[in-house]
Amino acid sequence: MAWRASILLAAPHRLAFLSGSLGLVAAALWWPVRLGALHLGWAEPASGNLPAALLHAPVLLVQVYPAFIFGFLLTVFPRWMGQPDLTARQFGPASGAIAAGLAVTVIGLWTGTDAMIRIGFLTFAAGWALGLVALAAVVWDNSRSGKPPCWHAVSALAALTIGLGALLMVCAFLLGGDPRLLRWGNVLGLNGFILPVFLTVAHRMVPFFAGNVVQGYQRWRPDWLLAALWALLALRIAGELALLPALSGLAATGLAACTGVMAWKWWPRGPAPGLLHVLIWGVVWAPLGFALAALAAFGLPLGLAPTHALALGFAASLLVGMVTRVTHGHSGRPLAMVPLAWLAFVAVQLAAGLRIVAALKGELGWLLVIAAFAFAAGLLPWLVRNALIYMRPRRDGRPG
């Protein structure tokens, strides 16, 4: 069957996941090339005035991850609240601007064109705002219908709102150069957006999925847990922004305890499919990352190890599991980890482990390069396979 561009608007996840996949390929390959030039004397790629080291975190936190997050949430928000799927008119403008913004950004990264990077971030922010409005309308319709609040949707919407603020801070940094804005944007992007979104989705998705595939599984996802996670994350944000290590350490300790309980309660006590194990193993990174963050806040010299345990080990592991589940479920394929998905997941574990070791060794250059290449090489085949799926009709002939 001939490829048609309209297939990308057949379901909310298609264009957003496609742009996220291609953007992640481009960003994941760009970073080790940059590290090699910095640490190993490789040929210097095209560069502008914006330092590559300062772009790495915001590109991942407020562009690449969000492309997948919007694709996921635009798909599941109506289903969480028993509403019809969003139409192309509702999700198309957001997905289109997100795709355009991410494409322009990565072209700017590879060509060293500062203006394109700035335009890419601003365009992505416009798409983010449009997506936020579309998702808020779903929550508003649920409220007007008299149904009970969907706290997972409310939680995710709050995180997306904070995330837009983080993205706008990064945009302000790119336009004005104030480094404080970049630091604030990174702190909010990780602690106010990435972590609460993935924790919220895991709180909703893991017990539900496990209850369907594990015999005798007891679903555990109390509402108070979401509130506790948000309170502790807010405390951590306050400690990070105000440069109060004791406050950050206290919050990280509480988060390590809460996420540790989540991992323990959700662990299947019987045979379970690989896709569920991937989600659970991803969750296990959270208590490890928060524990490292607490130790660092109380004086242990861990460098960027806690940040990468959370932003890479936790978030990227869950990303592999969640994207695989949606990609397969919405293309008529079995809900299973195929070999390329396993390769991507193993690569994330290897890259996160090597990146943590590199941090503990004082940011050892050659180890940073190996970690970055492991991440890129392992994810590349999986992302390319997924991209091809998004551009083809469903296998089962159903719409979407």
- What confidence tens digit (pLDDT) does each residue in 176-203 have? 999 999 999 999 999 999 999 999 999 9
Give the model's pLDDT for residue 3. 58
Give CA–CA dist 330/327, Å, rounded: 6
pLDDT tens sequence across 132-145: 999 999 999 999 99
Report how far apart, in Å, the C-alpha atoms of 287 and of each of 237, 250, 264, 291 are.
Answer: 17, 14, 11, 6
Give residue 354's Cα distance to chain centre: 20
Confidence class for position 270, pLDDT limits 50, 70, 90: confident
Cβ-Cβ contacts under 8 Å for 195 (sequence gap 6 or more): 233, 310, 314, 315
- Sign of the torsion angle spanned by Cα atoms 116, 121, 125, 131: positive
Give the model's pLDDT for residue 1. 42
Quote the pTM value: 0.96
Give CA–CA dist 133/201, Å, rounded: 19
Mean pLDDT of the chain: 96
Confidence class for position 72, pLDDT limits 50, 70, 90: very high
Domains, the chain, with CATH or none: 5-390 (1.20.210.10)
Confidence class for position 400, pLDDT limits 50, 70, 90: confident
